[in-house]
Amino acid sequence: MKRIDSIVHLEQKCTGCMACVDACPVNCISSMVGKDGFLYSVIEDSKCVGCGKCYSVCPIETKKKHGEEQRLFAAYAKDSAKQNNGSSGGIFELLANHFLKQGYFVCGAALDNLTLKHRVVRGEEEIKPLLKSKYIQSNMEGIYEEILGLLEKGEKVFFCGTPCQVSALLNSASKAKRELLFTADIICHGVPSQKVFDEYIDTLKRKHGGEISDFSFRIKDNRYKHAHGYSYKVIKNGKTRVVNGIYTSSSFYNAFKKYLIFRNSCYDCRYATLDRVSDITLADFWGIEKYDFKGSVDAGVSMIVTNTKNGLDAFSALEEKIVYKEFPVQYGVDSNHCLTHTTRKPKKRDAIIEELAMNGYETTAKKYFGCGIIHRLYWWIPPSARTFIRKMRGK
Ligand SMILES: Cc1cc2nc3c(=O)[nH]c(=O)nc-3n(C[C@H](O)[C@H](O)[C@H](O)COP(=O)(O)OP(=O)(O)OC[C@H]3O[C@@H](n4cnc5c(N)ncnc54)[C@H](O)[C@@H]3O)c2cc1C
């Protein structure tokens, strides 16, 4: 039977989903941090029984297909608190609550002491840490096993993650068990590593001379509305203060926005296509201003692609709680490059990853992660002026 290490150029292709670690029946696969700061799996040859489970769950090799009719919607939560809780229109939270009411467990990515891992929850009060995008690769080790254990007992699970994680989960479950799963994927254009994020947090600790907590990407406030704002807490001498800003003033966020520090496989992702693996796809509806869609678009609008009948039924169940409109699927394709092609790899990306390993975060960030004056000025002007500029540019 084939093992994952029979995949040609595995190191460049490995998505870091970690499904192989969970799938191995003799625990001979473990994870380790590679030179580039991302998690990879290693096989202990002497223990391997050659069962091929690691290969069969790997999302590089196996991608389940639906072939059902897809529909595309723009939508956001009518409840403005919920719209603000999400990165885009807050649709994930509505779906999570809908499934919790039906007795499902919910699984999503949550920061725990600034380390990102997926987590399975059961109650509405546990949903908050799962909300909002975190621009780091989430560690899924142990999660496949936990979910399969629940499915084995006849429990139902709503899982949300990147398309490669969804694919790995679907590959891990038998056909009968997949009936108990509802999956949502987020459109993802690439993930930075936990290691580089940790090093960035260390620079913040040195800068402020205190501890850092509660880092949040995609905050929405009156200045930035639906944009790439961030916030974190500084704890110093027993006092806590909140720091916030737009991505232009964060070296890490700026590097993320410029695609400089993604996992190698993200630049050659087989899931960057309209051919989705999940029941429902969640994304930002960037450029909604140019379409005929009325409402509070400044606070974030989600783009939703229903990929299966189950996906459409779940979205329809939210009808009373959302403002929405259907558009041709092509509109989504036009506004989101991840539905047709992968993120281009910047020429200096490999040099940056090497420099991070050799010279550390601060030196590399000074050299590469700055932001130009035009971008800074753009975020300095009032939101209404930015909306006007976007409309004029047809974006
Ligand atoms: C790394 C990353 C890149 C993205 N790139 C794009 C893009 O290029 N274009 C686009 O339109 N949208 C992108 N998104 C998706 C978008 O930002 C929103 O997550 C999505 O629209 C859902 O928003 P929401 O308001 O419905 O819910 P939210 O409350 O924002 O729900 C977010 C959901 O995503 C899960 N999640 C958060 N971070 C991660 C992570 N690191 N890994 C796995 N799951 C995670 C959470 O658990 C939760 O289930 C990206 C998201 C991430 C995490």
* Cα-to-centroid distance, 88 and ligand 1 (Å): 8
What's the rounded Cα separation, in Å, for the pair 350 and 260? 9
Helices (H), 4-46: 10-13, 19-23
In sequence order, the 6+-apart residues with CB closer than 8 A to the CB of 115 are 139, 194, 198
Q: Name the region of 169 (left: φ>0; alpha: ψ -120 to 50; beta: rest).
A: alpha
Phi, psi of 20 (to 5 degrees): -65, -35
Task: Specify the ligand 1 atom closest to the Cα of 283.
Answer: 21
Residue nearest to atom 2 of ligand 1 (CA): 188
Both tokens assigned to 252: 């890490």
Tell which one of 76, 104, 138, 186 to mutate to probe ligand 1, the residue whose CB is within 8 A of the most ligand atoms. 186
What's the rounded Cα separation, in Å, for the pair 279 and 285? 18
Torsion sign over Cα 247, 249, 252, 257: positive
* Cα-to-centroid distance, 393 and ligand 1 (Å): 26
Both tokens assigned to 48: 């391997």
Q: Between the CA of residue 240 and those of 233, 236, 394, what are the distances in Å?
A: 6, 6, 42
Residue 376 has pLDDT above 80, yes or no: no
Indicate whether residue 171 lines ligand 1 (CB < 6 A). Answer: no
Tell me what pLDDT residue 297 has: 84
**Per-residue model confidence as pLDDT tens digits over 252-286:** 999 999 999 999 999 999 999 999 999 999 999 98
Question: CB neighbours (10 Å) of residue 15?
Answer: 25
Which amino acid, one-letter code, is at 128? K
Residue 171: exposure state from Cβ atoms within 10 A (0-12, 13-18, ≥19): buried
Tell which one of 130, 133, 304 to mutate to probe ligand 1, the residue whose CB is within 8 A of the most ligand atoms. 133
What's the rounded Cα separation, in Å, for the pair 246 and 330? 31
Indicate whether residue 188 lines ligand 1 (CB < 6 A). Answer: yes
Both tokens assigned to 66: 């639906």
Q: Give the 3-state secondary structure of residue 106.
A: strand
What's the rounded Cα separation, in Å, for the pair 179 and 69? 19
Residue 320 has pLDDT above 60, yes or no: yes
Structural domains present in the chain: 4-57 (3.30.70.20), 65-395 (no CATH)
In terms of residues, how long is the chain? 395
In sequence order, the 6+-apart residues with CB closer than 8 A to the CB of 35 are 357
Percent of the chain with pLDDT over 70: 98
**Per-residue model confidence as pLDDT tens digits over 32-48:** 999 999 999 999 999 99
Residue nearest to atom 32 of ligand 1 (CA): 132
Residue 227 has pLDDT above 80, yes or no: no
* Cα-to-centroid distance, 188 and ligand 1 (Å): 7
Q: What is the mean pLDDT of residues 286-308?
A: 90
| DSSP label of 158 | E
Tell me what pLDDT residue 222 has: 67
Tell me what pLDDT residue 306 has: 98
| DSSP label of 289 | G
Q: Judging by DSSP bridges, how do beta strands 105-112 and 115-121 pair with one another?
A: antiparallel
Indicate whether residue 246 lines ligand 1 (CB < 6 A). Answer: no
Which amino acid, one-letter code, is at 275? D
How would residue 224 be classed by pLDDT, with cut points 50, 70 and 90?
low
- Average per-residue pLDDT in the chain? 94
Indicate whether residue 284 lines ligand 1 (CB < 6 A). Answer: yes
Q: Between the CA of residue 279 and those of 16, 230, 270, what are the distances in Å?
A: 22, 30, 18
DSSP count for the chain of H helices, then E strands: 16, 13
**Per-residue model confidence as pLDDT tens digits over 321-332:** 999 999 999 999
**Per-residue model confidence as pLDDT tens digits over 327-351:** 999 999 998 999 999 999 999 999 9
What's the rounded Cα separation, in Å, for the pair 320 and 214? 32
How would residue 19 be classed by pLDDT, with cut points 50, 70 and 90?
very high
* Cα-to-centroid distance, 300 and ligand 1 (Å): 13
The residues that bridge with 216 in the sheet, in sequence order, are: 231
Helices (H), 41-119: 53-57, 80-85, 91-101
What's the rounded Cα separation, in Å, for the pair 67 and 53? 26
Tell me what pLDDT residue 28 has: 96
Tell me what pLDDT residue 383 has: 73
